[in-house]
Structure 1
Amino acid sequence: MFRLCCKRPQFQLVPNWAYSSIHLSFVLQNTSLFSKSFSSVEVVAHDREKQHSFTVSYFINSCGLSPEIAASLSKKVAFETSEKPDSVLGLLRKNGFSEAHISKLVKKKPKLLLGRVEKTLLPKLEFFHSVGISGIDLANVLSSNPGILCQSLEKEIIPNYYFLKSLVSNNEKIVNVWKRATFLHDVQKNVVPNISALKGIGVTHSSFSTLVASNPGVLCESSEKLDESVKRVIEMGFNPSTSAFVNALVAVMAMTDNSWEQKLKVYRSWGWSENDFWLAFRSYPTCMILSVENINTKMDFYLNKMGWQPSAIARTPSALAFSLEKRIIPRCRVFRFLSLKDLIKKKISLSYVLNFSEKVFADNFLSNYQEQVPQLFDIYQGKVDLSELGIGF
């Protein structure tokens, strides 16, 4: 056996005063380095603060935004000088944008203030001018949907315009669609296949025009959701070749199952039977996308103020969509007065009172009874309250 002998390593202790000397030497040697680093950080921080302050001031003074909104937007975009944003705002003002339009656009897309005027923005505005969209129409479109200016002119804006042109008849309708249609950035992927599918089951061109003009978002849904909704609407008894089919499709796609059940409960609470509901929905599918508050307010007026039966509303469900202040109450004031004064000799339905145009209503009710009731126009306009005549709802 061998016996191993190992010497323990000998460590030399360094006295405390030596450590202090070493530390002091390190600090002295690197003081200039630390000073330079901290100085750089301070300069960067100062520059950022200066840039932030300038941006906030610009948003407030040049774009008409509130200090709160300006501060929030400055986190998304910042600039040191006004050269670029001034040139962008100058271009917009030259093309008919008011200060309100500019505020609206900048609030939604502040990064457009850093856009390249000559190379990017101007060609897009020139295209809109070339197809007859300019002035207030152009300002309304781009302030409502400024994302259009972020799209490619050749790949998206031009093809999308001619796509819409093939579906709706005029630029006025295209403007209305473009103000809301943020989906129009991937037409070939979503919209075109959905239109082909709907055409395949018999949906007419006029129905497409209505759909694009009123609810363009339906066409950008996934093909799976569209197919499922189409099947459901057909099972409800709607014919794809009718305009009611498109309205029912919009209603079904806009609602979850829970929302659907909630609306059914509301209508039942006002006395609608199952038959009443289907009668109303098949003639006016939009009744299912009205808000609960809207339904309750109108039902309360018709049933509790006018004394009409729930089934009468089900036969004229469009009555739920009219403005209470502008159409329903003024016309019902006239109708109630004439009825209680026994001036209307024949039975008149709710639809007769509410569905006619303003001119037809004026001819049939206001003008016809003007001689017998000189104050009838004042009653219609609310200048004479029925309570003053001893009549109430």
Structure 2
Amino acid sequence: MFCLCRKILQFQLIPNWGNTASSTIHLSFRLQNTSLFSKSFSSVEVVAHDRKKQPKQHSFTVSYFINSCGLSPEIAASLSKKVAFETPENPDSVLGLFRKYGFTDAQISKLIKKRPEVLVSSVEETLLPKLEFFHSVGISCTDLGNVLCSNPFFWRSSLEKQIIPNYNFLKSLVSNNEKIVDVWKRAIHLHDAQKRVVPNISALKGIGVTQSGISALVTSHPSVLCERSEKFDEYVKKVIEMGFNPSTSAFIHALTAVTSMSNNTWEQKLKVYRSWGWSEIDFWLAFRSIPRCMTLSVENINSKMDFFVNKMGWQPSEVARTPVALSYSLEKRIIPRCRVLRVLLLNDLIKKNFSMSYVLQTSEKLFTVNFLSKYQEQVPQLFDIYQGKFDLSELGIGFEQKPEANQL
């Protein structure tokens, strides 16, 4: 009761101070009539008399942020409103500890920008034990800097009550520290696994999701498991109603897709696919096969459908029957391989039909053997064409020259 009253009174008084003198008179009156709060108001009165000193203190803090942490003057000024210090001893000790554990200057700047309060934390009691723990479980200095800068919530988490239990929990789900590091970097709420992740995993196990499926979800999309339980249950129910079997990997991919966007975004992407000629049957055929087709951005969908339909001459329904084609990089995989195919088709070097999935899914090694090395003698420039070193226009070939629809 005492603490609550104290906070309320301070909140009401401080914003109304017009100047130091008036605020002191007002406080003195309150002190005479409310001895219970004398200690609290005395400290506030000191702050009121010391207001002129604060700009100097903040000036030192701003300078430290700029000169020792590599921050811009604008960011430094903003952070000085959250934390301030008068001497460099403790901040220097903190920075020295970080550098001892392999943090780069860029990582330190990133961390301080997100959690400036670490500069006034106790090195021996708070920071060092956490760093020693991470080091003791085999996390390298490079990974350590990446994790603690990407997910600064660890600095305010209890080592004994949160960090160690969290590590042990993740260790039971994934195979090695490398994957744990990756999970920690990408899911900020996993610093408190017991609160959100454990209930959601229990729900998945209850409907038949396999351990391998849960492990895959933890390592590939850990943020999905950080949803509030009520919302998470809604997503799971929706995916089941779409016809996905919880024991399959497709269920995990569909759950990831559904949780990654709002209903409006979902409808927007549906509209894009329809604009390229997909029917409802085409969409559900594609989505149930490769749920990732709905995680692509609108721009990504349009650019790939444009290439397949307008450049390669494939029917929209053919893309829907081979939706894995949409999951590959246009620049790194689709266009290079299709350049090679275009040359081989137009030179009558390929006589039999190839499915899109075979052309795009086959490994780099097999693609090299079956489509590059095999025809290098007939088309000496084939490797250069594949690597983008040789333009098709130099051979008088362009993507606007569409092969027959049944050629692929």
Q: Number of residues paired by the alignment?
A: 359
Match of 2:267 among 261, 265, 274: 261
Residues 1:301 and 2:304 aligned together: no
1:292 Cα shift? 0.8
Residue equivalent to 1:50: 56
Aligned residue for 1:385? 391
Q: Please state whether the residue corresponding to 1:318 is helix, strand or coil.
A: helix
1:1-393 matches, within 5 Å, as 44-393=50-399
Structure 1 residue 276, shift from structure 2 partner: 0.8
CA deviation after TM superposition for structure 1 residue 100, in Å: 1.2
Contact 1:244–1:283 under 8 Å retained in 2 = yes
Which whole-Å CA distance do the structure 2 matches of 1:121 and 1:51 have between them? 24
1:54 touches 1:79 (CA, 8 Å); kept in 2? yes
Unaligned runs of 5+ in 1: 1-32
State how far apart, in whole Å, the 1-side matches of 2:91 and 2:324 are: 48
Once structures 1 and 2 are overlaid, which stretch shifts more, 323-332 or 119-128? 323-332
The answer (yes or no) to whether the contact 1:191–1:220 under 8 Å persists in 2 is yes
| TM-score of the two chains, using structure 1 as the length reference | 0.87
Give ranges in structure 2 of 5+ residues lacking alignment. Answer: 1-19, 25-45, 400-408
Per-residue CA shift, 1:246-272, capped at 9, x if unaligned?
A: 111111222222222111111000111
Q: What SS does structure 2 have at the residue aligned with 1:76?
A: coil
CA distance in 1, matches of 2:64, 2:73: 10
CA shift for structure 1 position 67: 2.0
CA RMSD for the aligned pairs? 2.0
Residue-by-residue CA offset, 1:332-364 (whole Å, 9 max, x unaligned)? 111111111111111112112212222222222
The alpha-carbon deviation at position 220 of structure 1 amounts to 2.1
Alignment correspondent of 2:17: none
One-letter code of the match for 1:267?
A: Y
Give every structure 1 segment of 4 or more consecutive aligned residues whose post-TM-superposition deviation is greater than 6 Å.
40-43
Amino acid at match of 1:155: K
Q: Distance in 1 between matches of 2:138 and 2:248?
A: 32
Does the CA-based 8 Å contact 1:319-1:351 persist in structure 2? yes
Deviation at 1:211, TM superposition (A): 0.4
What letter is aligned with 1:326? Answer: K
Provide the secondary structure at the position in 1 that maps to 2:106.
Answer: helix
Deviation at 1:184, TM superposition (A): 1.8
Give the C-alpha shift of residue 173 in structure 1.
0.6
2:184–2:191: 8 Å Cα contact kept in structure 1?
no
Cα distance in 2 for partners of 1:59, 1:256 equals 39
Q: Distance in 1 between matches of 2:54 and 2:309?
A: 64
1:46-80 superposed Cα distances (whole Å, 9 cap, x missing partner): 42222222222222221122222222222222221
In structure 1, the partner of 2:405 is: none
SS of corresponding position for 1:184 = helix
- Between the aligned partners of 1:43 and 1:371, the Cα distance in structure 2 is 88
Alpha-carbon distance in 1 for matches of 2:221, 2:62:
37
Relative to 1, partners in 2 of residues 1:189 and 1:44: Cα closer, same or farther, differing over 3 Å? same
| Counterparts of 2:52 and 2:352, CA distance in 1 | 82
